[in-house]
Amino acid sequence: MRKLRAEMHRRMLGNGYCARPVGLDCHFESICESCTFFQTTIEFRPILEKQREDAASKGQTGRKQVFDGLLARLEETAS
């Protein structure tokens, strides 16, 4: 049960998970994806969509908005 509870709060990253406990604030939430130097391409769309779904399923609205914006920019550049 402890393992299941811990998995509910892990944050999905591009290459793994952040296991920071939910009760601890993090100033670096989605830091890479919100950095002005971050670049992504259409090849990463499935990963970005999974990260957005992960954030939405855990009620992480700020993190979901980061991925919503990245996916919207991908759509704009693909058009």
pLDDT in tens, 17-36: 777 777 776 767 678 788 77
Per residue in 41-56, pLDDT (tens digit) is 898 899 999 999 999 9
Q: Determine the Cα–Cα distance for residues 30 and 67; give it in Å rounded to an integer.
A: 9
Residue 53 structure tokens: 């779904």
Q: Model pTM?
A: 0.68
